Amino acid sequence: MSQSATPFRASPPHRIVIAWVVAAIAILPLIGVLLAGRSVQPYLEFPPITRPVAHEPFSWPVFIGLAVVIAGMLAPFVIRMLRSSPFAAGSMADRNHAARATFHERRVSLCRFPWWGWLALFWTLGWWFLAWTRFEWMQPLQPHTFLPLWLGYIVLVNALTFRRTGHCMLLHRPRYFLSLFPLSAAFWWFFEYLNRFVQNWHYVGGGELSEWEYLVRATLPFSTVLPAVLGTAECLTASPRCSAGLDQFVTLEFKNRKTWGWTLLIGSAVGLFGIGLWPDYLFSLVWVAPLLLITSLQLIRDEPTIFNGTAHGDWRTLWAAALAALICGCFWEMWNFYSLARWEYAVPFVHRFKLFEMPLLGYAGYLPFGLECLAVADLCLSREFSGGVAYYRAVEGATDLAQRKPTVAER
C-alpha cells in the first residue's frame, strides 16, 4: 500500500467514484425489472421485508459445474500455501530456514492475552448460550442476541491480534475502527436492497415491526459486518503461515488500466442489470458485480485498487480478506442456526447439502464478499483514516518485529 503517513480527507474525485457506485447499484437492477415487464413498487417498499419465494429447482449439472469452477479457482492458492509451508520445504537448507522461521514466529508474541480479551471471550460464550436457549426471563431480549454476540467477537479477534503483535485496530487505530461501524451499516443495506431482486434470503422470528423498529433493529446488527471481517483479516495477517507463499505468487497487472476499467464496468453494469431481469440465473452476481464496479471505476480514474499488490505477485491482503469473510460466514451461519430471530435461504439450482441454513456452495460467496469489504473500506475510509488491512507480521524475513519499519497503520 502506498499511502501517506498523515491521514487526509478524501478528494472530490474519490467521492465521485462512491457516487457512481451508489447510483449504479440503486438504478441498474430497477431497469432490468422494468424491461422484464414487472412493477418496481415491490422493490422500493420499506421496510424491505423479504419473503420466501419459489426458485428454480436443484440441478446436478449446475451444482457440479459451479463446484468445479470454485475448486479450480481455489486450488492454486491452497497448493501454493501447502508447498510453502515448513513441512513441505524441499532441501535441508529450506527445512532449517523454515524451522528457524517457525521458532522465531513463536518467540515474538509481544503480549499476554489481554484482560479485555478474556472478558470478550466470556461475554461471547454467554450470549451464544442465551441465543440458543429459550429462558422465559430472556424473552424480551431473545430476538436481539445477534448484536452482542458479534460485538464480543469483534473485541475477541482484536485481542487475538494484540496478543500476537502488540497492536490491533481497536487500540491503535480507534478512529478507523469506529468508522467501520456506520460504514458497515450502509454497506449491508445495499445488499439487502439487492436481495430484493434475487430473494435468496429472508428473515423469520423477528415479529411484526414498524418501519422505525425495523430500521433500528436491522441497522445495529448490520453495523458489525465490516469490523468483524476486517478485524479477522487483520488477525490472520499476524500469522504468516495463513498466507505462506502468497507474497510471491502469480502476477496480475492491469497494464492498460482504462481498457480493463471499461471492460469491467460494462461487465458489472450488465450483471447488476441482469439480476433484475433474470434473478434466478444471475443471483451469484450480487456478490461479484459491486466489487467489479468499484474496481472498474478506480481503474478508469487511474486510482489505486485492492489488486495493486498482485502486480508484484503479492496476494496476501486479498487472501486474508477472503478467508476472513469465510471464517465470519461460518460463525454467522452457526450462530444463526438456533437463534430465534434468524435468516433462511432459498437459492436456485444449488439448494442442497446444507451446513446450518446455508447450502454448501453458498459459502463460496463469502470469498468475494471479503474482497468487497476490503474494497469498500479502502474506498471510503483509507484516505481519511489510513485504512486497509495492516500487516503486523511476526516474521519479516529475518527481521524482528521491533526492528522493522512500521506500517502506515502503525504510525
Q: 10 Å Cβ neighbour count for 182?
A: 13
Place of cell 480478506: 321
Place of cell 429447482: 57
Q: Does 5 reside within a domain?
A: no
Q: Does 105 reside within a domain?
A: yes
Q: Does 22 reside within a domain?
A: yes
Q: For the chain, 411 residues long, give each residue's pLDDT as a single digit of tens.
A: 433 333 334 445 578 999 999 999 999 999 999 999 999 998 998 877 666 678 999 999 999 999 999 999 999 999 999 998 766 655 444 555 454 444 444 544 567 999 999 999 999 999 999 999 999 999 999 999 999 999 999 999 999 999 999 999 999 999 999 999 999 999 999 999 999 999 999 999 988 888 899 999 999 999 999 999 999 999 999 888 889 999 999 999 999 999 999 999 999 999 999 999 999 999 999 999 999 999 999 999 999 999 999 999 999 999 999 999 999 999 999 999 999 999 999 999 999 999 999 999 999 999 999 999 999 999 998 655 544 565 555 434 433 333 333 333 343
Beta carbons of 26 and 43 less than 8 angstroms apart: no
CA atoms 247, 249, 250, 251: torsion sign:
positive
Grid coordinates in use for 78? 491452497
Q: Does 6 reside within a domain?
A: no
Give the structural domain span for 320. Answer: 12-410
Per the DSSP assignment, residues forming a β-bridge with 399 are 396
Per the DSSP assignment, residues forming a β-bridge with 344 are 202
Q: Does 4 reside within a domain?
A: no
Residue by residue, DSSP assigns 272-310 as HHHHHH-HHHHGGGGGTHHHHHHHHHHHHTT---TTGGG
Q: Does 330 reside within a domain?
A: yes
At 285-315, the pLDDT tens digits run 999 999 999 999 999 999 999 999 999 999 9
Q: Is the peptide bond before 348 cis (omega within 30 degrees of 0)?
A: no
User: In the prediction, which pLDDT does 399 show?
Assistant: 37
Q: How many domains does the chain have?
A: 1
Q: Does 16 reside within a domain?
A: yes
Q: Does 121 reside within a domain?
A: yes
